[in-house]
Structure 1
């Protein structure tokens, strides 16, 4: 009876659900689980930062609807990535651990500065994915390797190329008219990763 009461205090779903996850878990190293949790939190941090960037460009004194639209789409994509990894974690029997999201940078001096910051973030996220893929290989986890390859690696490279192109285009158009025209162009694009 004491065992049952202790387990009920943990919550029916908490104890029995977690127990089932452990039963179904196969070839999923704790190091990979930890690294996946880190990746989830990186994606959510990027989502939060892109959201802050989007609404910076929506301010009346900035008024860049194209940049606003671009960063809103980027924020949604990062959240999608985090959710995709969380669903995968549940399939593998892992425990999802969300950490607090750091405060984002609230404003940027220019569109160019924001795009350079976005490229830096994307490169950090990509490096973490590459490290995760390497770890999965060392842990002999082909399923995790396949998941990363199929869902993230090419998309990251494509997104980095788009950002690098935008940065170069904006560098060449550095005056108010050029900035205005670039923003109009951004409003007509379909985001970092195109239409899905």
Structure 2
């Protein structure tokens, strides 16, 4: 009886079930997972920046805290998908987030740029999956991410415009109160 490494047997089982899942798609999904975790980490840092006593913006804090949780859920959803397809998940280190922002407007603009970057990468994953003739991956990306990204970008753009119009201390205060009830995706009509 030979003693083998258990992870080698497990890897073989994953490869047995793997079908029509190109290595380049697996690599692109791993990059997406790490991008989602980077956004999660950045949103978490942003949330707790706005929770500080000298900033005190509970609405903005809650908004970014919710955004952080959503990004983590996206990463986990992709990881579950990778396991279903027989892929290998490779997590990289998460870069240090920007530590603080001068105001909510700057933070929202940074959030919109992050969302645009995440969306662009998702579009690239979809295009690659299409090129590799992987309709399952195309469907996964379409069903779980693309519309949500567009909706989230619209909400952020609306918040940015509203806050630009309210550029006074009172306006910032009122906007923060409005943010308590807002979310990245819960106010979008289904």
Query: Which TM-score band applies after superposition, normalised by the shorter structure?
Result: over 0.9
Partner of 2:165: 172
Which runs of no fewer than 5 residues in structure 1 stay unpaired?
Answer: none
SS at match of 1:40: helix
Alpha-carbon distance in 1 for matches of 2:8, 2:134 = 27
CA RMSD of aligned residues (A): 1.1
- Structure 2 residue corresponding to 1:27, chosen from 7, 17, 20: 20
Query: C-alpha displacement at 1:15, in angstroms?
Result: 1.3
Partner of 1:114: 107
Whichever of the two has the greater Rg, that structure is 1
Alpha-carbon distance in 1 for matches of 2:86, 2:111 = 33
Cα shift readout 1:29-78 (whole Å, capped 9, x = no counterpart):
00000000000000000000000000000000000000000000000000
> Is 2:140 the counterpart of 1:147?
yes
Alpha-carbon distance in 1 for matches of 2:47, 2:129 = 34
> Is 2:131 the counterpart of 1:138?
yes
> Is 2:188 the counterpart of 1:193?
no
Alpha-carbon distance in 2 for matches of 1:114, 1:187 = 16
Query: C-alpha displacement at 1:118, in angstroms?
Result: 0.1
> Is 2:29 the counterpart of 1:36?
yes
TM-score with structure 1 setting the length: 0.94
Alpha-carbon distance in 1 for matches of 2:107, 2:172 = 13
Alpha-carbon distance in 1 for matches of 2:72, 2:58 = 21
Which runs of no fewer than 5 residues in structure 2 stay unpaired?
Answer: none
SS at match of 1:167: helix
> Is 2:87 the counterpart of 1:105?
no
> Is 2:30 the counterpart of 1:52?
no
Alpha-carbon distance in 2 for matches of 1:17, 1:87 = 16
Alpha-carbon distance in 1 for matches of 2:28, 2:162 = 36
Matches within 5 A, 1:70-109: 70-109=63-102
Alpha-carbon distance in 2 for matches of 1:188, 1:136 = 37
Alpha-carbon distance in 1 for matches of 2:15, 2:21 = 10
TM-score with structure 2 setting the length: 0.97
Query: C-alpha displacement at 1:87, in angstroms?
Result: 0.2
Query: C-alpha displacement at 1:183, in angstroms?
Result: 0.1
